[in-house]
Chain A
Amino acid sequence: MNLDVSVRKNYGGFKLDVAFCLTENRCGIFGPSGSGKSTLMHLLAGLLEPDEGVIELAGQTLFDSARHINVPPEKRRIGVVFQHAHLFPHMNVRRNLLYGWKRTPEAERRIDPQTLARVLQIDHLLERGVNALSGGERQRVALGRTVLACPRLILMDEPLSGLDEELKFQIIPYLNKVFSEFAVPLLFISHSLHEMRLMAEEVLVFEAGRMQQRLPAEELARGSLVTGSRGYANLLTLRAPRPHGDLWLYRWGEVDLVLTESGAAGDNVFELAAKDITLFKRHPEASSARNILPCRVEGLFGAGNRIGVELACGGGRLICQIVPDSVRELDVRQGAEVIAVIKASAFHRLY
């Protein structure tokens, strides 16, 4: 992706004024509601006209106020997945899926509808009416419909925020599969930090119509250790659960972790809050917590009374949050050996 944007728009008392150039294939736009994320999406897709500025994608000028260029949305080949799917209610799943595909010149059709329907696991729904679908299914069909139009860039506007909390992250593996298998550049718009970390490599942070920061998703998350109300959460990919008494053993890098929660065969993504990890100077011999991991301190960050400790253990990385007094008493510094203790119930499965 090579997206060059410099636009200004006054829109109902709201002022958007941003300029950036994106080259990563997976970018995120992060910010609270009302920060201008959706307005930017509309401007990029051609659904709204900037007051002035330039939009260029892959060397083609889509909008230029000075040269009076404004390519209409149907010619921009920028796909949009809307927050609430917006499947056409008078068409069944198949006709929705093929709507964009049929309007794509044959030479441009890179993606086979059958394959995509299988990847998204919607091939059994093709003849159904769209009103008989669950929220997750609707969002998968909407994604399929957009991908099949073979766009040069896909904009996703809070695609998960319309879904139930429990189902929310279950669509992420589908998104990941589609975007890695069919190699479509993605601009992911969300106000959820988790979604940003799971979907985007680079994140633009928007606030009040302006771009405040531009940083890797992981760095944004570390920033939330100090500023966020919920602190930092480790997102761990754990493999192949095996029963272990009435608990479950998961493979994480070179070590096994003991969890209370069961998961699907294969990869599972778990959330582990940084403040749920306790550090010990020596091995505590016996503990009610089931996971006792020897780690090496890789670095410290944070400010005030929240210190993030980056730990290397068993081939993986963990961030643990402690207070400055603990840092002094345990003598935590780069290169120090510590023991991380985690309860089996501290892990929360995302998908």
Chain B
Amino acid sequence: MQNLSPQDMQAIWLSAQVAIAATLITVPFGFVAAYLLVFVRLPGKALIEGVVNLPLVLPPVVVGYLLLLLFGQAGVLGPLLQSLGIRIIFTLKGAVIASAVVGFPLLVRSIRTGMEDIDERYLQASRTLGARWWDTLVTIILPLSGRAVLAGMTLMFARSLGEFGATIILAGNIPGVTQTIPLAIYEYTNTPGGDRMALSLCLVSIVISFVVLLANEAVSRKFRQRARQ
């Protein structure tokens, strides 16, 4: 680890920021999307499902390009945001958005599986005991899908750490600004003699991912214990 340069340290810090921000921002949206898909009767549900899952099957580069079209200076939202003084492209915000969009389907899928596993009769019981739908959502669905939310967050976090294609298009590869670990590794592999540096960043990547998995396992066990009490 002693051969990590200050620029590497910056990349690690940026990666952590992007992964944490993307995960925290998407969780509420992911939860709502999963709830809508599982529990609410909606017209055109298949279409919504398709849109939610699209980033999972599209090449990340395509996602990045579509985001660029959306947030770029000539894009749909770009000028509006610019008038508010917000710039997305080639900033850390862009990297967070790219990661969030690409990881979103994984998060929704995970939460959705957890929600589908909840016995419908718990919800019926809570309704007949006088709980309105939002009450049931907070007191029954949320706690019972906690493990699935956690698993989804882990996937989301890991996916964000590894996000490359969409990030490089929307946020670019600017050292100290938007250069996360994968982008730094990419740059090292393109530089003569950068192999060793790339390898140490790879090791860092492995360590972080492993820590995340362990943490997930520990918290998940707590959930299980609580459910078994």
Q: Using Cβ atoms and an 8 Å threshold, which residues of chain A touch B124?
A: 45, 47, 73, 80, 82, 86
The reply on B128 being an interface residue by CB < 8 A is yes
Q: Among B27-35, B81-89, B130-138, B181-189, which stretch is in contact with chain A?
A: B130-138
Question: Can you list the 4 inter-chain pairs with the closest CB atoms, starting with the nearest?
Answer: A129-B229, A100-B129, A103-B130, A73-B127
The reply on A29 being an interface residue by CB < 8 A is no
A-B contacts, 11 listed (Cβ < 8 Å): A47-B124, A47-B127, A76-B128, A79-B128, A80-B125, A84-B121, A88-B125, A90-B143, A90-B226, A145-B129, A149-B128
CB-based contact B128/A89 at 8 Å: no
Q: Does A72 contact B (CB under 8 A)?
A: yes
- Identify A90's interface contact among B125, B129, B132, B227, CB under 8 A: B227
How far, in Å, is A104 (CB) from chain B's closest CB? 6
Once bound together, how far apart are the Cα atoms of A12 and B135, in whole Å?
30
Q: How far is the CA of A277 from the CA of B112 in the complex (A)?
A: 61
> Which residues in chain A, 97-117, are within 8 Å of chain B measured between CB atoms?
99-100, 103-104
CB of B198, distance to nearest CB on chain A (Å): 46
Bound Cα distance A82, B124 (Å): 10
Closest partner residue, chain A, to B229 (CB atom): A129
Given A47, A88, A146, A149, which contacts B122 in the complex, CB threshold below 8 Å?
A: A88
Residues from chain A with Cβ under 8 Å of B143 in the complex? 90
Chain B residues near A82: list those with CB within 8 A: 121, 124-125
Given contacts A82-B121, A129-B229, A131-B228, contact A90 B128 (CB under 8 A): no
CB-based nearest A residue for B120: A47
Q: Is B140 an interface residue (CB 8 A)?
A: yes
Q: Are B129 and A99 in contact (CB under 8 A)?
A: yes
- Give which listed residue, B129, B135, B229, contacts A132 with CB less than 8 A: B229
Q: Is B144 an interface residue when CB atoms closer than 8 A count as contact? A: yes
- Tell me the number of A-to-B contacts counted with CB atoms below 8 Å: 71
- Give the distance to chain A from B112, nearest Cβ to Cβ, in Å: 19
Contact with B along A33-72 (1 / 0, CB 8 A): 0000000000001110000000000000000000000001
A92 within 8 A of B: yes
Given A103-B135, A104-B130, residue A92 in contact with residue B229 (CB < 8 A): yes
- A129 adjacent to B128 (CB under 8 Å): no
Contact with A along B200-229 (1 / 0, CB 8 A): 000000000000000000000000001111
> Which B residues lie within 8 Å of A79 (CB)?
128-129
Q: B135: shortest Cβ distance to chain A, in Å?
A: 7
Closest to A131 in B: B228
Which residue of B135, B139, B229 is within 8 Å of A131 (Cβ)? B229
Which residue of A is nearest B135, CB measured? Answer: A103
Additional 13 contacts, C-beta under 8 A, given A74-B129, A92-B229, A100-B129: A45-B128, A46-B127, A46-B128, A47-B127, A74-B130, A74-B131, A80-B128, A84-B121, A86-B119, A88-B125, A88-B126, A103-B130, A129-B228
CB-based nearest A residue for B144: A90
Which of A89, A132, A149 is packed against the most chain B CB atoms within 10 Å? A89
Determine whether the beta carbon of B144 is less than 8 Å from that of A89: yes
Distance (whole angstroms) from the CB of B219 to the closest CB of chain A = 15
**Whole-angstrom CA separation of A89 from B226 in the bound complex:** 9
CA distance A79 to B124 in the complex (A): 11
Q: Nearest chain A CB to B148's CB is how many angstroms away? A: 13
- Residues on A with C-beta less than 8 A from B122 are 86, 88-89
What residue in chain A is nearest B143 (Cβ atoms)?
A90
A307 within 8 A of B: no
Q: Is the CB of B121 within 8 A of A74?
A: no
Note all chain B residues with C-beta closer than 8 A to A99.
Answer: 126, 129, 131, 139
**Cα distance A82–B121 in the bound complex, in angstroms:** 8
> Hey, which chain A residues are within 8 Å of B119, CB to CB?
86
Check if A204 is an interface residue, CB within 8 A of chain B: no
How far is A135 from B217 in the complex, measured between Cα atoms in Å? 31
| A103 to B131 alpha-carbon distance, docked (Å) | 7
Q: Which residues of B contact A146 (CB under 8 A)?
A: 128-129
The answer to whether A77 has its CB under 8 Å from any CB of chain B is yes
Contacts of B121 in A (CB 8 A): 82, 84, 86
By beta carbon, the residue of chain B nearest A103 is B130
Closest CB in chain B relative to A76 CB, distance in Å:
8
Please encode chain A, from 128 to 148, with 1 for each CB lying within 8 Å of some chain B CB and 0 for all others. Answer: 010110000000000001100
Q: Which of A46, A103, A104, A132 has the most CB of B within 10 A?
A: A103
- Cβ of A338 under 8 Å from chain B: no
Interface flag for A27 (CB, 8 Å): no
Say whether A77 contacts B144, CB under 8 Å: no
**What residues on A are CB-neighbors of B144 within 8 Å?**
89-90
Please, how many angstroms separate the alpha-carbon atoms of A77 and B144 in the complex? 25
Q: Which residue of B lies closest to A104 (CB)?
A: B130
Find chain A residues with CB under 8 A from B130 CB.
Answer: 74, 77, 100, 103-104, 149
Q: Mark B127-164, 1 if CB is under 8 A from A, else 0.
A: 11111100100011001100000000000000000000
- In the assembled complex, the CB of A284 is this many whole angstroms from the nearest CB of chain B, namely 56
Indicate if A211 sits at the interface (CB-CB under 8 A): no
Residues of the A chain whose Cβ atoms lie less than 8 Å from the Cβ of B128: 45-47, 73-74, 76, 78-80, 146, 149
Docked complex Cα distance between A311 and B132 (Å):
55
Closest B residue, CB atoms, query A149:
B129
Roughly how many angstroms separate A302 CA and B202 CA in the complex, as a whole number? 87
Q: How far is the CA of A46 from the CA of B147 in the complex (A)?
A: 30
Complex Cα distance, B132 from A72, in Å, reads 9
